[in-house]
């Protein structure tokens, strides 16, 4: 049940937000959406406290897996997202949100699910770390190319915004870990729980803010999210196999590709002043990917890979 606990909390939060939106969006006159960016910064700081030199050395130890994983991450998900906006003909700001979730990196939940699935955890952590570090530059460029016709995209402004939201707290966390190390081991133990709680809260706020739109096109967004997520898993796995990666590492990359950083996407949507529209799909995708990802991780956990003669990636 541990693998499904986070999923249950996400579903419960989203359900309550649909039923009682006003209690979630406004607490005593305070607009809860103002907490989205600080919470993402907290998550990124926590991620930084778990990182060290070993994560960067990981690239030297398994360069093939890292480069293939990053390539698949930033090609498969953006292109599928762009295709879905054409197929479903979503309104411009909703469509921009679909593309946005495709252009952000994988989230920390991918590390948790790779651990549960008995994947290559070292590869997973290295991929997540480097994809996140690349995000301030890659995400704005992809958004400008794929969503620039839907909403105005200021690449430089978005680079600065994402850097403040992601890069700065991540680097601060790495420095903090370098200085204090084992003296704050309790923080490393607590941060995964804090990150999960923050993600649940962010999803709840976005769902509540976009409740009316969800009642109108919610089913189509869920359908698009299910297709997007499934294709990410499928193409992530078989793309890795195409590049001769072994089955265990291919499973690892599949989870990294299929899971996106919904919190980051929600934060970007908020920074653009479009949390209730652009932020909708990231919230739905984030909810669905946690459900499907939990099932996939538990299934793979119960079906170990065959021994192979392929060299580790």
Residue 38, domain member (yes or no): yes
According to the model, what pLDDT value does residue 55 have?
A: 65
- The percent helix, strand, coil of the chain (3-state, each to 5) is 80, 0, 15
Residue 311, domain member (yes or no): no
Residue 113, domain member (yes or no): yes
Each residue's pLDDT tens digit, 227-265: 999 999 999 999 999 999 999 999 999 999 999 998 889
Q: pTM of the entire structure?
A: 0.85
What mean pLDDT, rounded, does the chain reach?
87
Q: Name 27's bridge partners.
A: 30
Residue 312, domain member (yes or no): no
Residue 244, domain member (yes or no): yes
Residue 310, domain member (yes or no): no
According to the model, what pLDDT value does residue 108 have?
A: 78
Residue-by-residue DSSP string for 55-123: HHHHHHHSHHHHHHHHHHHHHHHHHHHHHHHHHHT--HHHHHHHHHHHHS---THHHHHHHHTT--HHH
The CATH number covering residue 185 comes to 1.20.1530.20
- Which residues make Cβ contacts (< 8 Å) with residue 148, sequence separation at least 6? none
Residue 309, domain member (yes or no): no
Looking at residues 140-160, what average pLDDT do you find? 94
Q: Which residue segment(s) compose the domain that 23 sits in? A: 2-299
Residue 305, domain member (yes or no): no
Number of domains forming the structure of the chain: 1
Evaluate whether 96 touches 82 at the Cβ level (below 8 Å). no
């Amino acid at each position: 049940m541990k693998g499904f606990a986070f999923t249950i909390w996400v579903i419960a939060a989203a359900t309550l937000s649909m039923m009682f939106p006003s209690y979630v969006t406004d607490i005593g006159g305070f607009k809860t959406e103002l907490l989205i960016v600080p919470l993402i910064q907290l998550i990124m700081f926590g991620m930084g406290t778990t990182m060290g030199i070993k994560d960067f050395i990981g690239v030297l130890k398994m360069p093939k897996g890292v480069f293939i994983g990053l390539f698949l991450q930033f090609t498969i998900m953006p292109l599928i997202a762009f295709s879905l906006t054409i197929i479903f003909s979503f309104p411009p700001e909703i469509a921009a949100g679909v593309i946005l979730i495709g252009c952000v990196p994988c989230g920390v939940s991918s590390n948790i699910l790779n651990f549960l699935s008995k994947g290559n955890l070292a590869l997973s952590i290295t991929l997540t770390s480097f994809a996140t570090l690349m995000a301030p530059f890659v995400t704005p460029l992809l958004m400008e190319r794929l969503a620039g016709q839907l909403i105005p995209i200021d690449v430089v402004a978005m680079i600065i915004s994402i850097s403040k939201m992601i890069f700065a707290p991540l680097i601060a966390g790495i420095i903090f870990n370098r200085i204090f190390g084992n003296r704050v081991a309790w923080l490393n133990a607590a941060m995964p729980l804090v990150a999960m709680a923050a993600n649940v809260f962010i999803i709840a706020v976005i769902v509540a803010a976009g409740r009316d739109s969800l009642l109108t096109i919610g089913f189509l967004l869920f359908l698009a999210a299910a297709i997007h997520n499934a294709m990410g898993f499928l193409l992530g796995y078989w793309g890795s196999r195409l590049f001769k990666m072994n089955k265990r590492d291919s499973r690892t990359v599949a989870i990294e590709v299929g899971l996106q950083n919904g919190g980051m996407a929600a934060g970007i949507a908020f920074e653009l002043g479009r949390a209730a529209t652009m932020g909708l799909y990231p919230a739905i995708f984030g909810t669905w990917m946690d459900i499907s990802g939990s099932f996939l991780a538990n299934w793979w956990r119960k079906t170990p890979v065959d021994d192979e003669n392929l060299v580790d990636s």
